[in-house]
Structure 1
C-alpha cells in the first residue's frame, strides 16, 4: 500500500474512533522510530453505563491494565486526540462493516489498509465483558486459518485450538518481554527484525498467530519461518501468508536436518512427537537461540528405556504399574531436558501450557539464554540422575555430537 501523510491517515482513523455506533474495537501498539510510547498497548471500545454511552480506554503497561471511561462527546474526543498524539507504530480499528490497519513507516508516513467485512458484525456494548484476549476471535488471522467464520465468530469445533493459541501467545509475550528487559534478547528494528522459527509447524496456527500478535499488537518487527516435513503444509501455509499479506517463509525439511541462515533467535517447537522435541532443542542450542519455547508431546524414548532397565531401589513401586511408569517417564524426560539446557547456559522454567481438560500434554519448557556461569552442582545432579535410572537421553547424545 502507498504511504501518505500520517496526519491525514490519523484524521481518517479518528472519525472511526469517535463513532459510538459503529466502532467495535481499536488497538494501538508498537512504537514509531526513535520513540517510546507511555503504554505497551491501548484498547478502545464503547460501553453502555448508567450515565450513558462511554468510550472505554484500557491502557497496558508491562504489568497491569488501567481502564478509564469517557462520556461520548467532548470527553471522548479529548481522550482520542490525546491517544493519537502518542507515537504508536500501529493502529488496528474494527468497525461493524470494515477493518482498518495503520502502520507508521520509518519516514513517519502512514500506510492505511482497509478491508470490507463480508457481512456486518454487532458491536458489544456491555460493561462486563469476557476475559481480555491478546487476539480477538474476529481477527483476520483466525478467519484465514479457519478458526472463525466469515463473520468473525469462533467455530464451536475450534474452541480448543483457539484456547491453545491464546495461552501460547501469553507465554510468548511474557517470555520475550522478560528477555528484552534483561538484555538477553536484542531489541529488533525494521532493518534487523527478530528471527523466529517454528519447528514442526504443521498448519502454522502458532506461526501466524505469533507473527500477527508481535507485529500488530506489540509492534515488534519480526520475520517468521515455518519448518515441516510435508510439502502440502508448505504450499497451504504459503497461500495463507499471501492471503494475509504477511512476510512468512515456509520450508520443507526435518527438524534435525533443516539449515537456516541467518540462524533464528527464537525457536518454537510445540507438540513435536517424542524425540523430535530433543532434535528441536539440539537445533536451538546449536543455533545459539536466545529464546526457546518447547511443548513436548509423547515421551516414548525414556519410557522404553525404563521398561528394559532394572528399577533402582527404592522406586520399584513407581514403575510396577504402567500408568505410573508412563507418568514417571514424562517427568524424567522433561527434567533431563531442562537440566541439559541449564548446562548449556539457559535459564529454564517448566510451566503449564494449557489446562489439562484441553490436552493431557500441557507442559512447556521455557528457556532464555543468559550466558551466565553454570552452577557447579547442575552437571553433577544430572550425571547422578541418568546413572541412577540407567537411561541415555537422546538430547545429550545430540549435544555431544555437535562439531
Structure 2
C-alpha cells in the first residue's frame, strides 16, 4: 500500500519522464524501462519503452492508465525515478521490501518536457474566463493570474487535480446525458471560493450533473454566497446555515469536502461522511489542538519536551489516526501533500475513497491507533465518535 501511495503522488504531478531500473531478478527480460509523456494526434499519451540487451519494445498507454502501469512495472524493479515540470521523485525498495520515497522541488525549474508541454498543465488554465476567479481577484477580467494571487491559483488547482484523479472513474455515470446526480457537501465553506470553483469544474469542464451544498456558521456569509450563486446562474449550488456537529442532510451524499475546517470540526465532518457512506472524502485539516492539549507520553517524554515539536507531532498524529480510522471504516485512504510547505504548514490533504478493504487491514488499522493511544494517552474526537463501531 505504501508503494501505491507513493506512485499516486507522482501521477498527480503529471510526470514527464519515468525510469525503472535495478531489476529484482537477474533473469528478468527487461534491463530498464522508460516512460515518456508525448503527443500523438494532438492528444497527450505515455510511451513505454522496454529495453532488453539487444532490443527496445514500444507501447502507448492512456494517461488514465499510468498509475496502474507503474504499479505493475515496479514489481520487477528495485528503483524508479521520475520528473515533472516542478519536482524530482525517487522510489527505492530495500531487500526487506521497505519502500523509500522522496520528492524534491526543482530549485531551477526548467521545462524539460516536449514542445507541447512548456508549462504545467493546470486544469484551470490561465486565459480561461472563470467568473469566480475574477470576482475573487485571482484572475484579471482578461483571465490573467494576478501576480500576488499565484499561490492561491496553485492551491485551487491542486485541490481540483486531486479530485479529478478520482472523478475520472465515475464521470460517465454522472454525465449530463444521464439522470444521475452527484451530491456534494462542502463543510465549513466560509467565503466559498473553492465551492464555486468546484461547481465550475464539474459543470463547465467535466459537464457532469452535480448538486453542491455549502455549510457554514456565519449568516451573512451564507446570504452573500447564495446571492453570488444566483448571479452566476448556478442553479444547483446552495448554501445553508448550520453546524458541522449534528448537521442533518436528507439526500444521499456522494462526496464530502472540507478545506481548513478548524480543529475537531474536521473530525465531525469525517464522522458525518462515514455515516452517510459517502463515496469520496477530500479534507484539508486546519489547526489541530486536541491531541496537543491532552498528550501524556508514558516513556517518550522527548516528544513533549519542546513545545514546537509537541505541536507538530500532535498534528501529524491527528491526521495519521484519522487516516487509519477511515481505513477501518472501509475507505482506501491517502495523506497527500496539498501545497508546498513553504507556502503553508497546513499542507496535508486526506483523500478517502470507499473501497473493499479486507477485515485484516481494518483490524491492523485499529490496532495501530490503539497502540499509539496507549503510549501517549491522548483524546481524539473521531476515535471517540467511532469507538463503539471499532
TM-score, normalised to structure 2's length?
0.66
Q: 1:401 to 1:352 in 2, by over 3 A?
A: same
Which residue pairs with 1:131 in the alignment? 120
Could you tell me which runs of 5 or more consecutive residues in structure 2 were left unpaired when the two chains were aligned. Answer: 1-40, 46-61, 67-114
Could you tell me which runs of 5 or more consecutive residues in structure 1 were left unpaired when the two chains were aligned. Answer: 1-55, 66-125
Which residue pairs with 1:330 in the alignment? 315
Q: Deviations over 1:141-163 (max 9, x none)?
A: 31133322222222233222211
Correspondence 1:99-118 to 2 at 5 A? none
Q: 1:64 to 1:366 in 2, by over 3 A?
A: same
Q: 1:278 to 1:170 in 2, by over 3 A?
A: same
What is the deviation of 1:343? 1.0
1:63 paired to 2:51: no
Classify the secondary structure of the residue corresponding to 1:387. Answer: helix
Q: Deviations over 1:221-262 (max 9, x none)?
A: 211111111112212212221222222011111111322220
Contact kept? 1:144, 1:244, Cα under 8 Å: no
Q: 1:255 to 1:268 in 2, by over 3 A?
A: same
Pairing partner for 2:195 from 197, 207, 226: 207
Pairing partner for 2:212 from 216, 224, 227: 224
Cα distance in structure 1, aligned partners of 2:174 and 2:207: 11
Classify the secondary structure of the residue corresponding to 1:366. Answer: strand
Contact kept? 1:147, 1:158, Cα under 8 Å: yes
1:161 paired to 2:164: no
Classify the secondary structure of the residue corresponding to 1:336. Answer: helix
**Count of aligned pairs between the two proteins:** 279
Q: 1:228 to 1:175 in 2, by over 3 A?
A: same
What is the deviation of 1:128? 6.9
Which residue pairs with 1:393 in the alignment? 380
Contact kept? 1:345, 1:374, Cα under 8 Å: no
What is the deviation of 1:301? 0.4
TM-score, normalised to structure 1's length?
0.64
Contact kept? 1:188, 1:194, Cα under 8 Å: no
Cα distance in structure 2, aligned partners of 1:149 and 1:295: 27
Give the aligned CA root-mean-square deviation in angstroms. 2.5
Correspondence 1:178-327 to 2 at 5 A? 178=169, 180=170, 187=174, 190-247=178-235, 248-306=237-295, 309=296, 311-313=297-299, 315-327=300-312
Q: Deviations over 1:11-42 (max 9, x none)?
A: xxxxxxxxxxxxxxxxxxxxxxxxxxxxxxxx
Contact kept? 1:342, 1:374, Cα under 8 Å: no
Which residue pairs with 1:113 in the alignment? none
What is the deviation of 1:374? 2.9
1:148 paired to 2:132: no
Classify the secondary structure of the residue corresponding to 1:63. Answer: helix
What is the deviation of 1:136? 2.1
Classify the secondary structure of the residue corresponding to 2:359. Answer: coil
Q: For structure 1, which segment, 274-283 or 187-196, has the greater mean C-alpha deviation from structure 2 after superposition?
A: 187-196
Cα distance in structure 1, aligned partners of 2:282 and 2:386: 18
Pairing partner for 1:171 from 162, 167, 175: 162
Contact kept? 1:144, 1:243, Cα under 8 Å: no
Higher RCO structure (Cα 8 Å, ≥6 apart):
1
